[in-house]
Amino acid sequence: MSPIKRVHNFNAGPSILPLPVLERAQAELLDYAGTGMSVMEMSHRSKEFEAIIQTAEADLRELMGIPANYKVMFLQGGASLQFAMVPMNLRPAGASADYIVTGSWSRTAMKEAAKLGAVRTAFNGEGENYTRLPAEGELSFDPKAAYVHFCHNETIHGVEFKSEPAVPEGVPLVCDMSSDFLSQPVDVSKYGLIYAGAQKNAGPAGVTIVIIREDLLARVPGNLPALLNYQVMAESGSLHNTPPCFAIYMVGLVLKWLKDLGGLNAMYEINREKAEMIYKAIDGSGGYYRGHAVPEARSIMNIPFRMPSEELEDLFVKEAKKADLVGLKGHRSVGGLRASIYNALPVESARALVEFMADFQQKHG
């Protein structure tokens, strides 16, 4: 057995990676596939790296069922750069884009887009501190919008869409899927563009995956700098310049791990089991633990919750850390606690948290 210590890792991002992925990377670190060098040390134009990036793309296409008329890109700058690249590329001069605001990330995406042109709010959950999703009929769209942007899972507020919002005919749906990417099956054909920073569910920080329907590339203005230009990046196979090679290699290992596990349906079952376990602990605590989001909007990836006082919350974080449960402090804008239970978090870690919660309540409740 490995003497190496691994904690129950509830970090929100960067976050836990599957142990078999880390072990494989470790085994291949000094000599990748007989090349006598690390993936970090080889040319991004080498046949070995070409195989790495092409296999990663093929495995992603297979796992998500990405249709042939979509391009896949591995970019840099994080999801935050996509907040700007989406309007730069897809919102023609003079046009406006619609934003569904269900939490901090979609709000930030809209603010970035507003710096460069017109935006409209199709829904704003801020008045209720982002505890819920828009109800049917609450969304007001501009039928001429360049696109509709939404965030599939609000990492900070723990609000997650259960299905895609119904948008006007012909208006492409753009989605920040950073924190629940690859956590469940997705019908990619409903989207114009999906983006996700890797460091929540798909790999280490440094690479952002963008999936775009090909016809939208025709909108890209010719005067954009190459690295901000979807057309340039898509046509070069993400190799216009040096890509984040090692991060892409790690994403490739995560995708293999997901395939071995049985794909996104199997992953979804496991994720639901973990989430249900923790929500049950919250709901069964007689109000000692209180979830932030309303039940219908609850995320299976990020679970923010509060306790009777800030003192107890601080004590919880401290005591949990002693029990090797780390990363549970909530985001400063919501306060309290947050359990991020991404794909790579084992069921045993969710169970350990639930047991700790019960113990803590018994001692301090």
Ligand X SMILES: *Cc1c(COP(=O)(O)O)cnc(C)c1O
Binding residue positions = 45, 79-80, 105, 155, 176, 199, 241-242
How far apart are the C-alpha atoms of 284 and 357, rounded to whole Å?
A: 11
Sequence-distant (6+) residues with CB within 8 A of 24 are 253
Q: Can 176 be counted among the known catalytic residues?
A: yes
Per-residue contact flags (x/-) with ligand X for residues 131 to 150, judged by CB under 6 A: --------------------
Binding flag, residue 195, ligand X (CB under 6 A): no
CB-nearer residue toward ligand X: 200 or 274 = 200
Binding flag, residue 200, ligand X (CB under 6 A): yes
Q: Determine the interface stretch with ligand X among 77-85, 212-220, 329-337, 343-351 (rule: CB under 6 A).
A: 77-85
Among 105, 256, 274, 329, the active-site one is: 105
Write down the least CB distance from residue 155 to ligand X, Å: 3
Binding flag, residue 171, ligand X (CB under 6 A): no
Report which residue's Cβ sits closest to ligand X.
78
**Cβ–Cβ < 8 Å for 213, 186:** no
Binding flag, residue 60, ligand X (CB under 6 A): no
Q: Determine the interface stretch with ligand X among 63-71, 73-81, 92-100, 226-234 (rule: CB under 6 A).
A: 73-81
Binding flag, residue 155, ligand X (CB under 6 A): yes
Write down the least CB distance from residue 361 to ligand X, Å: 29
Q: Determine the interface stretch with ligand X among 30-38, 171-179, 231-239, 250-258 (rule: CB under 6 A).
A: 171-179
CB-nearer residue toward ligand X: 150 or 288 = 150
Give the closest residue to 124 by CA, choosing from 138, 113, 111, 145: 138
Per-residue contact flags (x/-) with ligand X for residues 3 to 32, judged by CB under 6 A: ----------x-------------------
Per-residue contact flags (x/-) with ligand X for residues 94 to 113, judged by CB under 6 A: -----------x--------
Binding flag, residue 80, ligand X (CB under 6 A): yes
Q: Can 105 be counted among the known catalytic residues?
A: yes
CB-nearer residue toward ligand X: 64 or 207 = 207
Write down the least CB distance from residue 120 to ligand X, Å: 20
Annotated binding site for L-glutamate: 45
Q: Determine the interface stretch with ligand X among 133-141, 172-180, 256-264, 316-324 (rule: CB under 6 A).
A: 172-180
Binding flag, residue 79, ligand X (CB under 6 A): yes
Cα 46 off chain centre by: 30
Write down the least CB distance from residue 287 to ligand X, Å: 29
For every residue of the chain, which 3-state class applies, written as one string?
CCCCCCCEECCCCCCCCCHHHHHHHHHHCCCHHHCCCCHHHCCCCCHHHHHHHHHHHHHHHHHHCCCCCEEEEEECCHHHHHHHHHHHHHCCCCCEEEEEECCHHHHHHHHHHHHHCEEEEEEECHHHCCCCCCCCCCCCCCCCCCCEEEECEECCCCEECCCCCCCCCCCCEEEECCCCCCCCCCCHHHCCEEEEECCCCCCCCCCEEEEEEHHHHHHCCCCCCHHHCHHHHHHCCCCCCCCCHHHHHHHHHHHHHHHHHCHHHHHHHHHHHHHHHHHHHHHCCCCCCEECCCHHHECCCEEEEECCCHHHHHHHHHHHHHCCEECCECCCCCCCEEEECCCCCCHHHHHHHHHHHHHHHHHHC
Contact residues: ligand X, CB under 6 A: 13, 78-80, 105, 151, 155, 176, 178-179, 197, 200
Q: Which active-site residues does the annotation give? A: 105, 176, 200
